Every structure is written in C-alpha cells, then in structure tokens.
Amino acid sequence: MANNLEREVNSRRTFAIISHPDAGKTTLTEKLLLFGGAIRDAGTVKGKKTGKYATSDWMEIEKQRGISVTSSVMQFQYEDFRINILDTPGHQDFSEDTYRTLMAVDSAVMIIDSAKGIEEQTLKLFKVCRMRGIPIFTFINKLDRQGRQPLELLAEIEEVLDIETYPMNWPIGMGKEFYGIYDRHYNRIEQFRTDDESRFLPLDDNGEVIGEHPIKQTGLYDQALEEVLLLDEAGNEFSVEKLNEGAMTPVFFGSALTTFGVQTFLETYLEFAPPPQPRKSSNGEIDPASQGFSGFVFKIQANMNPAHRDRIAFVRICSGEFERGMSVTLARTEKQFKLSQSTQFLADDRSTVNKAVSGDIIGLYDTGTYQIGDSIAEGKKIIKYEKLPQFTPELFVRVTAKNVMKQKSFHKGIHQLVQEGAVQLFKTYRMEDYILGAVGQLQFEVFVHRMKNEYNSDVIIEPMGSKIARWIENDRIDESLSSQRSLLVKDRFDNPVFLFENEFALRWFTDKNPSIQLRDPMEID
C-alpha cells in the first residue's frame, strides 16, 4: 500500500506555465495535451478561436471577453507520468489567483517569445517562482520566425532575471532558414519540418553529424556548432542542484505552433522536473508519500456553473490519497466534516481520474466552508500548511453601495469576498470609506459582477489609479502624515498602510520621515 502510494506520487509532475500574453502558452499547452492524448484537436484549449468554449473558460466574464480569468487545471498521462498543468491567465489584467497558483506547483515553465525576450508579466511571475525557489524551465518559442540572436536572449535572461542558464539545445538558424536544433542533451540534431524519426541525426564524438548530409552544407550549421563549442567551453556547467534551487534554468528552443521541439522539451522536462516535495506545516515537514490525505486551498472560484450558485475550492494535495466521502478536519475551525462532492479537472471531460494523490489538484464544492490558504487533513488530524503570501496590491478603487438602503448585503458581500481573497480591503481613517486593492483591474470587474450576482448588491467603484502600498512597521502612527499623495489607510486587520501616489511620493516621504519603517509584503527582489 505505502509503496503503491509512493509510486503514484513519484509519477506526478505539477507545473504552471508563466509567460507574457501572446508568447505561446495556449499553443504549447495544447501541444502538450495532444502528446498526452488528453485532447484530440488543437483549438480545444482556447475556445475563442473555434467558437467552442474551453474547459477553463467558466465564468461569464470569461465568455464575454474571450479570456481566461481564473486558473484551471489540466491533467494528462505521458508514458509513466501523470502531469498536472495549472493554467494561469494570459491576459494582462491578471489577479492574485495567478500568483497563488504558483504556490501549488512543484516547477514552472517559462515561455519566451524569441523576438521579444523577457517581458513585463514574465518578470512578475518569475519573481514569485524565485521567491519559492522552485525549478524553472525555459522554452524559447517561435523559432520558425525571425527573432533575436540566441546568445543575446541567454544574456538577457541571466541579466534581467539573475539566474544561470543552461541551453539543453541550440537553434540552427531561425525564421525562413530554421534547420532545427542541436540537442546537447540527447546528442543529436533534430531537423525542422521533418516528421518521422528521420528528423533525428545522431552526432559523433566531436559533436558532428555522422556521414554526408545536406545540413552540413549550410553555413548556419557551422555557426551553430561554433556557438555550441563556445557554450561547452565558456558556458555554465549543468547542475541539478542549482536547477532544483531555482538558481539555474535549462533552456530549450522550439516552435510550439509547428510542434517542433515540444516533445523533446517534454521528455527532458520529465527527466529533470521534481515530483511533489515535502511541504512545511505546523506538524513539521509532511512527506508527500506519507499516508493520510492532506492539502491546502489555493484558490476559490465562484459560479463555474451559472445555473447554480456554487463555488469550487481548489485544493493542492500534499500527502496521502483523496477518496470521495472521506472525513477531514479543517485546521482553521477544527471542524470535522465529510468531503462528499468533489470534482476533478481535465481538458477533456471524457476521461476521469481514478486516483488523486499528492501533486494532484481536486476541486471541492464549497458552500462557504473554505477560505484561501485553508488546510484540511484526513480524520481528526490538524495540519496547517504555511500561510499563502499576501501580494502587494497595485491598483485601488473606492467602493460604495448604489442603494444606501441595501447596506446589509453590501457589507456581507464585501466581507465574504475579501475573506476569500478576491480583493483586499482598506479603510480610510476618519470616514472609514472602503477602498479595494488588487493586483489587476480584472479583479475589480469580477468583484462587481459577483456582488451583483451573488449578493444582489449593485456597487459603484471609483478608480483611484495605481498606488504603491507600504505597511508600517512602527506601531504608533501620526495621522497628520496622511495627504493626497501619501494616503494613510488601515488594512482589514487595522494595520496602518500608506498608499503612495508614485515612486517620487514614496521617496519624498521616506526622506522626510526616516524613523518610519515601511514594508512591502512582497519584497522578493
């Protein structure tokens, strides 16, 4: 039994793809699912292109705007591995859900558009992965198009992200003259636009294609060989330890659209990506292969089925095996109850998962039981996993009820949604006006939509723009320091917070008030 569980857990690989919109996340996800046989046609994942809606497009807002608001989960089998891909919204209006999803994975895949390099959103998401110290694999996409020089891209990754790179393979040309990749790991060349096994050319001891081959006549082949030699001599040495700490990223080149380099990427990824790791808890480190189900809620999503007012709590399993109807204890309330209804997530509804163990994600129907960050454990056990980080909000709005007579549902809605972690709530000092903070504009739209639909409360939101939020370390705070450009507010636990208009206002304030210590909860630079 224990061995079985260990084998199951070790076959799990759970990751998220981090990228800037349009880098090719949807395309790559689709190709991965195709390899795993989880979907039959490309185009299933992003429904906006085919008119069908994807499994991940649950909410109405998603439908209206044709974007994926929330993170969903796709699971598929490849050889002996069971792979969970946790989707993160590709839209720039992303939210805290995106960040929290990264708390539930064991590794990340970063996609970079070869013509663009590191973009803003990639950087933000990378920082969260860095904070967790999880392995990050890099896929440089769109080699079928003219992009930037590969050496230049590597230098940018190293400089901007402060991480060592190790190219697992190297492109031979690009765009119209893309011949394929020189695979350092498998010691072969993989030719572009050659479908069958003949696409692989083995290399001799000198790293040269064996025998005569037309590819040798291209100057780009010589250039790639020279660059690989340079990498062998002057580049970083591959280190599994560094990879596991998130200090080195293996880099792969390819073209998701033409399915080139994707399988090689997947196989190498599976060779090096870690299975579920022990997680810290109030009971010490919990071994993922230990008996006794436990896990934590990393996101709560409402109204996945518009016909019902249900919510789904997404749970990352951290130990043991999940069974329908099992009895668990919620650590926060110490209440015991049965998990009678659950749901699992796949790109294809035809297949169902028979077993859910550490590394897998389950969705539990929620009628208001769960909060984000909650831990549950089998039987009477009380296990609390580490608190999920609170991400620094960047955008703020003032919020009021449209109908002053309906204050009750307004307050109830706000407090529940805030507790759920949908938005962050602040209050001004004197008037106790409500201010909401979020990391993305879309969070406010989802908030307004849910207030109306779930709490029957029409709200008015007034944009305040972006602000720099800083918590105050010193206990006593002088209210007279509050101004238009450095607004003093309280968070929902009554801790004082300054909302600065911009960097300049922040610097001016710190110069004037050197004794006040300001803190950014997400300081991960």
- 91 annotated among ligand-binding-site residues: yes
* Residues composing the chain: 525
The Cα 59–Cα 476 span in angstroms is 44
| Residues 423-462 within binding reach of ligand GDP (CB under 6 A) | none
- 32 annotated among ligand-binding-site residues: no
32 versus 468: smaller Cβ distance to ligand GDP: 32
| Residues 144-183 within binding reach of ligand GDP (CB under 6 A) | 144-145
The neighbour count for residue 438, using CB atoms within 10 Å, is 23
- 143 annotated among ligand-binding-site residues: yes
3-state secondary structure of 222: helix
67 versus 243: smaller Cβ distance to ligand GDP: 67
Minimum CB separation of residue 208 from ligand GDP in Å reads 28
Query: Stretches 19-27, 286-294, 479-487, 490-498: which one binds ligand GDP (CB under 6 A)?
Result: 19-27
90 part of the interface to ligand GDP, by CB under 6 A: yes
What tokens does 437 get?
Answer: 């903070």
Query: Stretches 18-26, 97-105, 193-201, 391-399: which one binds ligand GDP (CB under 6 A)?
Result: 18-26
Non-local CB neighbours of 162 within 8 Å, separated by 6+ positions? none
H/E element, 109:
strand 107-113
Minimum CB separation of residue 253 from ligand GDP in Å reads 10
Minimum CB separation of residue 193 from ligand GDP in Å reads 13
- 274 annotated among ligand-binding-site residues: no
Q: How many positions of this chain bind ligand GDP (CB under 6 A)?
A: 17
What tokens does 87 get?
Answer: 């989707």
Minimum CB separation of residue 153 from ligand GDP in Å reads 15
Query: Stretches 17-25, 78-86, 414-422, 503-511: which one binds ligand GDP (CB under 6 A)?
Result: 17-25
The alpha-carbon radius of gyration of the chain (Å, integer) is 25
- 513 annotated among ligand-binding-site residues: no
117 part of the interface to ligand GDP, by CB under 6 A: no
Q: Do 378 and 322 meet the contact criterion of CB atoms below 8 Å apart?
A: no
Minimum CB separation of residue 29 from ligand GDP in Å reads 8
What tokens does 431 get?
Answer: 């008037």
413 part of the interface to ligand GDP, by CB under 6 A: no
Site string for ligand GDP, 21-60 (x = CB under 6 A): xxxxxxx------------------x--------------
Q: Do 498 and 470 meet the contact criterion of CB atoms below 8 Å apart?
A: yes
Query: Stretches 138-146, 318-326, 358-366, 427-435: which one binds ligand GDP (CB under 6 A)?
Result: 138-146
Minimum CB separation of residue 33 from ligand GDP in Å reads 13
What tokens does 328 get?
Answer: 């668990």
Report how far Cα 187 is from the mean position of its chain's Cα atoms: 32
- 19 annotated among ligand-binding-site residues: yes
Q: What count of Cα atoms within 13 Å lies in the side-chain half-sphere of residue 122?
A: 25
- 26 annotated among ligand-binding-site residues: yes
Non-local CB neighbours of 193 within 8 Å, separated by 6+ positions? 258, 260
63-to-12, 17, 48, 58, 234 alpha-carbon distances in Å? 31, 22, 8, 7, 50
- 87 annotated among ligand-binding-site residues: yes
Non-local CB neighbours of 15 within 8 Å, separated by 6+ positions? 83, 84, 85, 86, 105, 106, 107, 108, 109, 273
Q: Which of these, 448, 481, 479, lies nearest to 463 by C-alpha position?
A: 448
Residues at the binding site for GTP are: 19-26, 87-91, 141-144
**Residues engaged in binding ligand GDP (CB under 6 A):** 19, 21-27, 46, 90, 141-142, 144-145, 255-257
